[in-house]
Structure 1
Amino acid sequence: MQKPSSRLALVAAGVTVVLWASAFVSIRSAGAAYSPGALALGRLLSGVLVLGAVLLVRREGLPPRAAWPGIAVSGLLWFGVYMVVLNWGEQEVDAGTAAMVVNVGPILIALLGARFLGESLPPRLLAGMAVSFAGAVTVGLSMSRDSAGGHASVLGVALCLLAAVAYAGGVVAQKPALAHGSALQVTTFGCLVGAVACLPFAGQLAGEVGRAPLSATLNMVYLGVFPTALAFTTWAYALARTTAGRMGATTYAVPALVVLLAWAFLGELPGPLTLAGGALCLAGVAVSRSRPRGSAATATTESA
């Protein structure tokens, strides 16, 4: 039987996955009016304002000194580099290709977690990730086919691959920081580090915010408040209570949810191949998070 904290961590992981999936819908609107760097900076500034206000209300203060190396690295790689290069990469390749390349990230998280954090790679985790990755490839291929044959430049693929590497590096760097600071502290100051790294795009943001339609600006703010401030905090809460590899595998549910959200809010009816790929993603997540019978004792300490 799971402890209440384990169930809360599972709920937190679910909140993260749903909000990150919703981000793809919002990015499609905001990205039409904002350049990659300006969109990343506007999103991060919105997130910092919300997180900073919550931090002050809760009076958590600065994180301990031991947490800062992980906060700095994850803030630079995940909040900074990842957001900018992913926005840029999605302008150079179709959404399907971007989804396939970026979904290398969870595999890299598991490998880096094993190398630098001493995490194990249980067979069920590896099998689940393989199934989910096959589903992500299926979704990507179906999306590429449906978007007028798709397009993929070498630059775009390289940017999406860089985004996956930055994402994986950021997650692995964040895990040790959570042993010293709270989820709110690590997320708030990681977001601040990312915003500072993106300040060179301040001029672009100032110029574009005056020309952008209100809907695009609202979507940028939404990205900062929910998929960034809230979702990164719930992610950190869950990550502190499980392994980086298992949390990375959980994000394979995102492509399936993106398909459902695009269907619900954009009227984009998914084809049979897309639905099959989404089902594979969810099946792989279920396998990666399952445990052999008789491991209930360890589940209470590792479950997210």
Structure 2
Amino acid sequence: MNVSRTAAAAATVTVVLWASAFVSIRSAGDAYSPGALALGRLSAGSLALGVMCLVRREGWPPRAAWRGIAISGVLWFGVYMVVLNWGEQEVDAGTAALIVNIGPLLIALLGSRLLGDAMPPRLLAGMAVSFAGAVTVGLSMSGGGGSSVLGVALCLLAAVAYAGGVVAQKPALGQAGALQVTTFGCLIGAVVCLPFAGQLVHQASDAPLSATLNMVYLGVFPTALAFTTWAYALARTTASRMGATTYAVPALVVLMAWLVLGEVPGLLTLGGGVLCLAGVAVSRSRPRARAAERAAGVSDPQPEQVP
């Protein structure tokens, strides 16, 4: 399997596992507070990643990578997970989905400004279509119960932290491996969440086994595995393109909620999910002339741009 296909497979694993996280959070979130859930998830993730590093004999990241690792660890692994868990307790799921999906747009803007990412028309068009789909899914999920100012602010902060963490992580991946960047970023996030250790210990004693198992699942798979496959794919493409790929998550959440939880989506929700996937397809597509060159065996001048 060539690098392009391997990166595409890694990105697919990421979006599927991140989508599954929304289903698991519903169970764990009933028994654990936002900070405790984030700490438990990050602790399980750090343990799993630590074992992987030992097996692979990964060393410490080089000094040049630490700045990006530290920033992404604080923002994405730490702040993002806590404030998103908190925000979803203050607003309905539809509102949270709408606000958090500003994240990929912020990644594109920051990536263009700070990393020099290209902004081809197909990427912009695809992101526009996917965002319209995310808006449609969010509106269809809205419970109509109103949204607090605090909840909206927390979800907006989550989107900003997510975007900042991704853009900071990209340069670090040029200096260190995906597993190194993910492991130490997750560990830093867990350290940031240590003030919630008392809550975690207290709530774990009363939580049902299913909630605790879901928390462990969140740490091992949507965190340890999915963040590693994300980092692997991000190292081989631009932050903007990877951000656009995450617009497949809302569509997969709708499908998983249907299959696992028996939540039958309405036509509006299904339509929004289709738009999300269509936008991702457009953002990842290449002009016909370039595709013809690749089919003819002409080398790609930009080998980093893979799905």
Shorter-chain TM-score bucket reads: over 0.9
Distance between the aligned counterparts of 2:145 and 2:133, measured in 1?
18
The 5 A counterparts of 1:71-82 are 71-82=69-80
After TM superposition, give the deviation of residue 301 of structure 1 in Å: 3.3
Structure 1 counterpart of 2:129, from 128, 131, 137: 131
* Structure 1 counterpart SS, 2:304: helix
Q: What percentage of aligned pairs have identical amino acids?
A: 79
Equivalent position of 1:168 in the other structure: 163
Distance between the aligned counterparts of 2:93 and 2:220, measured in 1?
24
Aligned residues: 299
Structure 2 counterpart of 1:70, from 68, 71, 78: 68
Over the aligned positions, Cα root-mean-square deviation in angstroms equals: 0.9
- 1:109-152 superposed Cα distances (whole Å, 9 cap, x missing partner): 000000100111111101000000000000000000xx3x2431
Equivalent position of 1:49 in the other structure: 47
Structure 2 counterpart of 1:277, from 272, 278, 281: 272
Equivalent position of 1:202 in the other structure: 197
Structure 1 stretches of 4+ moved >4 Å? none
Amino acid across the alignment from 1:72: A
After TM superposition, give the deviation of residue 299 of structure 1 in Å: 5.8
* Structure 2 counterpart SS, 1:294: helix
Equivalent position of 2:297 in the other structure: none
* Structure 2 counterpart SS, 1:269: coil
Distance between the aligned counterparts of 1:97 and 1:4, measured in 2?
40
After TM superposition, give the deviation of residue 61 of structure 1 in Å: 1.0
- 1:20-63 superposed Cα distances (whole Å, 9 cap, x missing partner): 00000000110010000000000000000000011011001101
After TM superposition, give the deviation of residue 293 of structure 1 in Å: 1.7
Amino acid across the alignment from 1:266: L
Distance between the aligned counterparts of 1:298 and 1:10, measured in 2?
18
Amino acid across the alignment from 1:241: R
Q: TM-score, structure 1 length as denominator?
A: 0.97
Equivalent position of 1:262 in the other structure: 257
Equivalent position of 2:6 in the other structure: 8
- 1:191-245 superposed Cα distances (whole Å, 9 cap, x missing partner): 0000000000000001000010100000000000000000000000000000000
Distance between the aligned counterparts of 2:303 and 2:164, measured in 1?
27
Distance between the aligned counterparts of 1:299 and 1:86, measured in 2?
35
Equivalent position of 1:111 in the other structure: 109
After TM superposition, give the deviation of residue 300 of structure 1 in Å: 3.6
The 5 A counterparts of 1:172-187 are 172-187=167-182
Distance between the aligned counterparts of 2:194 and 2:304, measured in 1?
40
Amino acid across the alignment from 1:233: T
Gaps of 5+ in 1: none
Amino acid across the alignment from 1:272: L
Structure 1 counterpart of 2:230, from 235, 252, 261: 235
Amino acid across the alignment from 1:283: A
Distance between the aligned counterparts of 1:178 and 1:151, measured in 2?
41
Distance between the aligned counterparts of 1:42 and 1:60, measured in 2?
24
After TM superposition, give the deviation of residue 79 of structure 1 in Å: 0.0
Structure 2 counterpart of 1:290, from 280, 285, 294: 285
Distance between the aligned counterparts of 2:208 and 2:64, measured in 1?
43
Structure 2 counterpart of 1:213, from 171, 185, 208: 208
Amino acid across the alignment from 1:238: A
Amino acid across the alignment from 1:219: N
Distance between the aligned counterparts of 1:231 and 1:183, measured in 2?
11
Equivalent position of 1:86 in the other structure: 84
Gaps of 5+ in 2: 295-299
1:303 aligns with 2:298: no
